[in-house]
Amino acid sequence: MLAGIFTPMKPVKAMTIRLSAEQAEALEAVASVDARPVSEIIRAAIAEHIDSRKKDPAFQDGLKHRLDRARRLFRK
């Protein structure tokens, strides 16, 4: 087996998304041009979005606030 050709996926969770017809058509076009499965394009976009949010100070402040609040609620 060639290195990098097969990378086993972590356990997966199936999810359903709803797209407009225009979004679905654009997504399928991107996947076709990139010669990649639609699901791979979606996972890459989600990973990029999460990475962007992790680097956003405002998001981190909001996350910290929610975690602190949850800790306080469960200590009661």
The one-digit pLDDT tens for each residue of the chain (76 residues) are 455 566 677 788 999 999 999 999 999 999 999 999 999 999 999 999 999 999 999 999 999 999 999 999 998 7
pLDDT of residue 28: 98
Per-residue confidence (pLDDT) for residue 10, from 0 to 100: 79
CB 42 within 8 A of CB 27: yes
Q: 54: Cβ–Cβ under 8 A, 6 or more apart, which residues?
A: 60
Q: What is the pLDDT of residue 2?
A: 52
pLDDT score of 1: 45
Within 10 A of 28 (CB to CB), how many other CB atoms are there?
Answer: 13
Separation CA 32–CA 46 (nearest Å): 19
